Amino acid sequence: MAPWWGKGSHKATSVVVKMENPNWSMVELEAPSKDDFLIANSPSSPREKRRGKNVKQLTWVLLLKAHRAASFLTSIGSTLVSHCSVVRRRDASGRTDENRTVRTGFYNSIRLFLGLSLLLLGFEIGAFFKGWPQLHLQYILTFPLGVKEMLDWLYDGWVLIVADYVSPPLQFLANVCIVLFLVQSLDRLILCLGCFWIRFKKIKPIPKNKAVADLEFGADTFFPMVLIQIPMCNEREVYQQSLAAICNLEWPKSKILIQVLDDSDDPMAQLLIKEEVHKWQQVGAQILYRHRVIRDGYKAGNLKSAMSCSYVKDYEYVAIFDADFQPAPDFLKRTIPHFKDNEELGLVQARWSFVNKDENLLTRLQNINFSFHFEVEQQVNSVFINFFGFNGTAGVWRIKALEESGGWLERTTVEDMDIAVRAHLRGWKFIFLNDVKCPCELPESYEAYRKQQHRWHSGPMQLFRLCLPDIIHAKISVWKKFNMIFLFFLLRKLILPFYSFTLFCIILPMTMFVPKAELPAWVVCYVPAIMSFLNIIPAPRSFPFVVPYLLFENIMSVTKFKAMISGLFQLGSAYEWIVTKKSGRSSKGDLVSLVEEESKHQHGGCEFNLDETNADLQQEPITTKMKHNRIYTKELSLAFLLLAASARSLLSAQGIHFYFLLFQGISFLLVGLDLIGE
């Protein structure tokens, strides 16, 4: 009995292959006939008939797949050509991170490594196809006899130079970076263990005087005079939410004064901020507007000028908030009590939280870094050594500590770290409150984040050069000097960006072209993966982004390394100060919700007209500005360097190295084309 699928005749059906790419034409293929399927009525060899039928059908399927693959390959080529033309146009129009007339030595060094790697890759590909043992160009290139002999001599000489003169120093530098990498990883592991110990023991800073822990209005309790300063500069997007939140702080009106320190050079921004201050004055808020015509010293100069006012002597504490920060109403009630009966305490720092942490991939990766910084670094240093770097905002200072430490100085771009170091050398102690969170914004574009990180990593090196003699001669313990010099400055501010850039962006790709120099797989993959997991522990919802986080940190090492070098050697961009761009995404919704919440309880706060606020917000024009992507030349150059090294590692079948270089190169390419962020 014949199988059921063998019954009946096989009707021919036309197969039309449509090519998706317009460069290909439509091709109609004739369907197989009965003879092609070898269908016969004789019962002889039915298995061979079915086998012939299956092979024929498989052939047609493979043909369709081949046409589709060819169409995809041609579309890739056209896409690459279009992207290259876009890059050339943007480079010609000046929308890059480099001045076309003044190319930095750092960028030129990267280009040199890139050109050398591409040259070597060409030679190595030829050697691979001719067999690795015969590394002679006469077997690869077809030139006249004299030219082939000359090229053969040059290549053999280059191989000899690499083996005898390039490999040893490259391997030595690699070993040095590996040691620094392990030391920094050990420091990070110890910090994480300290954080686990704090959680396990439930260690939490509490006021020495428990009677002032819960302040209530109307009682004769601890309500000292508090000065609040809000430095801002051309920040039209966020000033409303900041003033609304701060004017609604729960503190007696007679015990608080708010200074709006406006350094804006935009007349419209000045007018808007001044009108907002006047509106709050009309409802009874103790708030003043100050504007500097000469903006010497940037933020440090602004704060220094405000502290010189005659009425400051009447206040005991000063709280500082940047323009995008929105403290909770009970912020002062949860921070000020820690100063009571603790005369050695100079600073109480609160933690930052972010209203736009889920806005895009860039903000998610930043949230991972800040979560580790606050919950691990700041908290551990606060509990065990009572010292950490002031974050510049969302903190309360004892004014006496500021004055004894020399006040605000304009000598660096990290005035917050500067005053913290000088206060610590004077013997003042700091407290970090991990459970007191102050909402703010993260930069949503790579350009804004890059400039922010440049300032944050060049400033510490400026400060280290200036403070090193003071640290050595300070009357503090040897352990505190070691912690400040080696751990606080050298390891976390200098060594970290140095080895991250040198090891993973330069040494690793160059070892692919220098056979005798190599990096073990645990350095390339396993230890970085473990460190990335440790960094993500404070932000457990970010575990799906562990791989992008690892790759992005290596990308940011380019900016951090350049900033570190410029700050250490006082190069041109060391004192560059650019205000971080704010989007103001939280200004409307958060402001209205804040007013609705605060209208329920007005203990020491200011009454506010919700209808007036809604009317003002509705009158604000909503403008959408199209974003033009920039071209980041250093990141693009490193992308091609890493991709060339990945191709070389593929030839020698180095699995871990190939995947790391490939994904890292693609990541550099995406960032270089400004495809991350807003």
Gap between the Cα atoms of 414 and 416, Å rounded: 5
Q: Are 227 and 317 in contact (CB under 8 A)?
A: yes
Burial class of residue 392, CB neighbours in 10 A (0-12, 13-18, 19+) = buried
Residue type, 522: W
Could you give the dihedral angle defined by the CA atoms of residues 512, 513, 517 and 523, in that order, rounded to the nearest 10 degrees? -20
Q: Are 625 and 490 in contact (CB under 8 A)?
A: no
Radius of gyration of the chain (CA): 32
Sign of the alpha-carbon torsion through 361, 634, 553, 238: negative
Place of tokens 């070898």: 38
Gap between the Cα atoms of 523 and 174, Å rounded: 10
> Among 266, 256, 402, 261, which Cα is nearest to 323's?
261
- Write down the catalytic residue from 97, 262, 322, 416: 416
Gap between the Cα atoms of 354 and 344, Å rounded: 31
> Among 561, 464, 576, which Cα is nearest to 503's?
561
Chain-centre distance for alpha carbon 12: 61
Gap between the Cα atoms of 199 and 213, Å rounded: 22
Contacts of 172 (CB under 8 A, 6+ apart): none
- What does the block give as tokens for 390? 């002031």
Residue 416 is a catalytic residue: yes
Gap between the Cα atoms of 574 and 300, Å rounded: 16
Alpha helices in 131-234 (DSSP H): 145-161, 167-201
- Write down the catalytic residue from 152, 263, 322, 674: 263
Task: Return the H-helix or E-strand segment holding 433.
Answer: strand 429-440
CA contacts within 13 A on the Cβ side of 374 = 22
Burial class of residue 99, CB neighbours in 10 A (0-12, 13-18, 19+) = exposed
Q: 265-269: long-range contacts (C-beta < 8 A, 24 or more apart)?
A: 265/233, 265/234, 265/295, 266/234, 266/236, 268/236, 269/234, 269/235, 269/236, 269/239
SS (H, E, C) 266-312: CHHHHHHHHHHHHHHHHCCCCEEEEECCCCCCHHHHHHHHHHCCHHH
Q: Are 457 and 560 in contact (CB under 8 A)?
A: yes
SS (H, E, C) 549-610: HHHHHHHHHHHHHHHHHHHHCCCHHHHCCCCCCCCCCCHHHHHHHHHHHHCCCCCCCCCCCH
Q: How many residues does the chain have?
A: 678
Gap between the Cα atoms of 449 and 445, Å rounded: 6
Residue type, 38: L
Q: Which active-site residues does the annotation give?
A: 263, 416
